[in-house]
Amino acid sequence: MNSAAAGQETSTGSRFGGWFRRARSGMDSLPVHLPVRLGGAGIAQTKATPMRVLGFDQALVWVTVALLTWGLIMVYSASIALPDNPRFARAGYGPSFFLTRHAASLVIAFIAALLTFQIPMKTWERAAPWLFVASLLLLVAVLIPHIGINVNGARRWLPMGFMRFQPSELAKFAMVLYAASYMVRKMEIKERFFRAVLPMGIAVVVVGMLVMAEPDMGAFMVIAVIAMGILFLGGVNARMFFVIATLVVVAFGSIVASSPWRRERIFAYLDPWSEEHALGKGYQLSHSLIAIGRGEIFGVGLGGSVEKLHWLPEAHTDFLLAVIGEEFGLIGVLLIIGMFLWLTRRIMHIGRQAIALDRVFSGLVAQGVGVWMGFQAFINMGVNLGALPTKGLTLPLMSFGGSAILMNLVALAVVLRIDYENRVLMRGGRV
């Protein structure tokens, strides 16, 4: 482009990956998040580059810390009265039992996240298939009698001494890595249905069969949506994607139709206040709605919830948002929704930035984590608010659950590593 052209601004771009075009005076058109500027000789670091662009996304870290801290407080508030329940009293639980375990899980997860952040994305790309195989083996192990822990008819946990580990949480993370790796490897044949999609579909079906054997339909839904999301973001033909989506919807519909107790949940969701359902499958939903209704606009105050006093089952896990709604009101619920929207949007932005730097695997991993966090939060919130049928999924980063907290923070550490490598590349370094 001729630099003498009067008042004409060039298109933005950078030279990374060998396919961005050089621009001589495109400073004004650059996105504000790029810590670089374009000069006559190429890329140069700005004179006063703030610290936030030299390391990692601090805003993402602080929003995550805020959700974790609020979650810790609410887990304590929602579980403080549980020792009064004979079921928990017989086990010797004290008022701070769940608080102590949740705090210990946060410490373990934080250490794991720090270690995860040190691992380059190239290593994750090489390890993705092996991690997926390891998750399959653990899903098989949890179904073996005397190995997997059975709680209320569900066999989902493996004993690990300091905590109970849920392999389905690892399977979500492994699916993100494996699907991203698969799409990178199959990029040249993504227009061919059987060669591009069928092997991935088989992998999802195998994971789904193992997870449904626990049973854990909620985890299977999240895993299937992660795989579909990465296929779509990876550029699979739109017609092929809609065929896959239709097949998935039909599959889940068939699962629900073939299971009497799942059908009953659907009927209870449609009419939770009926005499038939209010004390049955609609019990949790009806009391969740009562809790949120009691909170009104500003809530009854921290610790003032009545529904958590043995009325609302699993208040510290699946229905934590209902307690938040009762104690902090509509304002608290809207704040939680806003934080998760921002978190998901920021993660997806980091993924798009990586793809723009020709780092397709890293970009798809980040966006897969965004799909995971956003979809699971959406399902949990929808269930608590009565917009979706009851489903046993925790609220990411907030609900009680050591395995979920551990894998959530590990996944976010990978996203921060992607963001860190993006910044290094944009400063002219190497990763």
Say how many Å lie between the first and final Cα of the chain, rounded. 31
Q: Are residues 274 and 329 in the same domain?
A: yes
Q: Are residues 38 and 148 in the same domain?
A: no
Q: Is residue 333 part of a domain?
A: yes
Q: How far apart are CA 57 and CA 371, in angstroms?
A: 19
Per-residue pLDDT tens, the chain, 431 aa: give them.
Answer: 444 434 433 433 333 334 333 333 333 434 434 433 333 333 334 344 444 445 778 999 999 999 999 999 999 999 988 877 766 666 667 788 899 999 999 999 999 999 999 999 999 999 999 999 999 999 999 988 888 887 777 788 888 877 788 999 999 999 999 999 988 887 665 556 666 677 888 888 899 889 988 888 888 899 999 998 998 888 777 777 777 778 788 888 888 777 787 788 888 888 888 877 777 788 888 999 999 999 999 999 998 999 988 888 888 899 999 999 999 999 999 999 999 999 999 999 999 999 999 999 999 999 999 999 999 999 999 999 988 888 878 999 999 988 999 999 999 999 999 999 999 998 887 77
Give tens-digit pLDDT for 191-237.
Answer: 566 666 778 888 888 998 899 888 888 888 999 999 989 988 887 77
Q: Is residue 431 part of a domain?
A: no
pLDDT of res. 344: 96
Q: Is residue 396 part of a domain?
A: yes
pLDDT of res. 327: 95
Q: Are residues 31 and 87 in the same domain?
A: no
Q: Are residues 208 and 312 in the same domain?
A: yes
Q: Are residues 39 and 147 in the same domain?
A: no
pLDDT of res. 41: 33
Q: How far apart are CA 378 and CA 358, in angstroms?
A: 30
Q: Is residue 4 part of a domain?
A: no
Q: Are residues 121 and 17 in the same domain?
A: no
Q: Is residue 260 part of a domain?
A: yes
Q: Is residue 285 part of a domain?
A: yes
Q: Is residue 215 part of a domain?
A: yes
On the 0-12 / 13-18 / 19+ scale of CB atoms within 10 A, 316 is buried
Number of domains present in the structure of the chain: 2
Q: How far apart are CA 21 and CA 25, in angstroms?
A: 12
Q: Are residues 31 and 75 in the same domain?
A: no
CA distances from 266 to 134, 223, 404 (A): 34, 21, 26
Q: Are residues 60 and 41 in the same domain?
A: no
Q: How far apart are CA 243 and CA 223, in angstroms?
A: 18
Q: Is residue 70 part of a domain?
A: yes
Q: Are residues 227 and 80 in the same domain?
A: yes
- 149: DSSP letter: E
Residue-range definition of the domain harbouring residue 23 = 9-49
Answer for the pair 217, 223: CB distance below 8 angstroms, yes or no: no
Q: Are residues 30 and 119 in the same domain?
A: no
Q: Are residues 14 and 129 in the same domain?
A: no
Q: How far apart are CA 425 and CA 190, in angstroms?
A: 28
Q: Are residues 18 and 126 in the same domain?
A: no
